[in-house]
Amino acid sequence: MLKITSAKVVVTCPGRNFVTLKIETNDGVHGLGDATLNGRELAVASYLTDHVIPCLIGRDAHTIEDIWQFLYRGAYWRRGPVTMAAIAAVDTALWDIKAKVAGLPLYQLLGGASRSGCMVYGHANGATIDKTIEAALVYQAEGYRAIRLQSGVPGLSSTYGVSKDRYFYEPADAALPTENVWSTEKYLRSVPELFRAAREALGWDVHLLHDAHHRLTPIEAARLGKDLEPYRPFWLEDAVAADNQANFRLIRQHTTTPLAVGEVFNSIWDAKQLIEEQLIDYIRATVVHAGGITHLRRIASFADLHNVRTGCHGATDLSPVCMAAALHFGLSVPNFGVQEYMRHTEETDAVFPHAYSFDRGLMHPGDAPGLGVDLDEALAARYEYKPAYLPVNRLEDGTMWNW
């Protein structure tokens, strides 16, 4: 038996906070799992250390499905972002171990490669439309085949999702939440202009994406979808919050713009109606926040039955361990759509040396056994946890608003 002998949680902040689970076995093989939940990191660290790790010691590391079921059903309290991030970390670390023991890159255990690489989208940001287009042209020159466009909105002093830096984006910006002011009217006037300018500058051979960050009502989202149709966006993301999955019925009735949602989803139940009724085109759930590789494969299989493709979340708060797992997953599933790719800082990359690589718009997880990511614990120990929260959003009259 390949026994789990120990496990520990490493919290580090090489530019931003990351929570990583490391599981060790009696064979000396170890595995890593990302457990980062932006702004709530220590809750997952405690869930793992205080409630999960004691249950893992002595178990057979090969019994991935059984351990998943044990942690999911056995807790009695099912689902939720903290629980599912903790389960995801265990699951990812166990897949890493299994693949290392097999001497194979993880994607080979998931059925092998279904494509030569995973198409990724980069993030073009700017305070103005011109600045955003400038950034998008850089991405296009670097070989990106898909680019997300986010621009400042005239009349609003800051906009969530618009980075102040050309390459690096970090929305968790303060020890206590900062506040943004939002106007749907101003926003709805500016996005079609952004897309018109982008098609003029970039042409039609590049996919263009946009994230509304859950800030619209269904009928506003329907309007935006219609207004963007002439520019053929690849997707409109998080048009509305999906707490009520039926919200998407209304948007769907009005527009052919493809819809993506799900970066905050933590289980298949968050997406059941959306997928079954074919209300979306891309499901954004990812490894760390949706129960690991085991559960994400279940979501992808269900989505495949309903013509929904994957489009995993891949912002900087998902560590390189999650990024690698997402690439092994994306390379193997039949219904892969696109993978988000936001570059990590040099400090983060040094703490998590990895085998994945970018080439002409595609990413590949590499062929190192396992996930192909390691954790430099000595370096990680140098970066102490720093509280950092995501901002909140209010309407111009002070009303708390969504994302």
Class of residue 54 by CB neighbours under 10 A (exposed 0-12, middle 13-18, buried 19+)? exposed
For 262-344, strand residue ranges (E) read 282-283, 309-310, 339-340
- Which of Mg ion, ligand KDG, none does residue 38 bind to, with CB < 5 to 8 Å depending on kind? ligand KDG
Tell me whether residue 210 is one of the annotated catalytic residues: no
- When asked if residue 96 is in the footprint of Mg ion (CB under 5 A), the reply is no
Q: Which of residues 169-188 bind ligand KDG (CB under 6 A)?
A: 171
The single-letter code of the amino acid at 233 is: P
**Catalytic entry in 30, 123, 210, 213:** 213
- When asked if residue 340 is in the footprint of Mg ion (CB under 5 A), the reply is no
Conformational region of residue 217, where left means phi above 0, alpha means psi within -120 to 50, and beta covers everything else: beta
- When asked if residue 317 is in the footprint of Mg ion (CB under 5 A), the reply is no
- When asked if residue 211 is in the footprint of Mg ion (CB under 5 A), the reply is yes
- Which of ligand KDG, Mg ion, none does residue 340 bind to, with CB < 5 to 8 Å depending on kind? ligand KDG
Tell me whether residue 160 is one of the annotated catalytic residues: yes
CA distance 357 to 372: 11
Which residue from 34, 220, 263, 281 is in contact with ligand KDG, where contact means CB under 6 A?
263
Rounded to a whole number, what is the distance in angstroms from the first to the last CA of the chain? 46
- Which of Mg ion, ligand KDG, none does residue 30 bind to, with CB < 5 to 8 Å depending on kind? none
- When asked if residue 38 is in the footprint of ligand KDG (CB under 6 A), the reply is yes
- When asked if residue 211 is in the footprint of ligand KDG (CB under 6 A), the reply is yes
Nearer to Mg ion by C-beta: 133 or 236?
236
Closest CA to 12 of 383, 387, 392: 383
- Which of ligand KDG, Mg ion, none does residue 317 bind to, with CB < 5 to 8 Å depending on kind? ligand KDG
- When asked if residue 220 is in the footprint of ligand KDG (CB under 6 A), the reply is no
Residue 56 CA, distance from chain mean position: 27
CA distance 210 to 214: 12
Class of residue 205 by CB neighbours under 10 A (exposed 0-12, middle 13-18, buried 19+)? exposed
Which residues belong to the active site? 160, 213
In the complex, the residues that contact ligand KDG under the rule CB under 6 A are 38, 171, 211, 213, 263, 313, 315, 317, 340, 390
Binding site for Mg ion (CB under 5 A): 211, 263
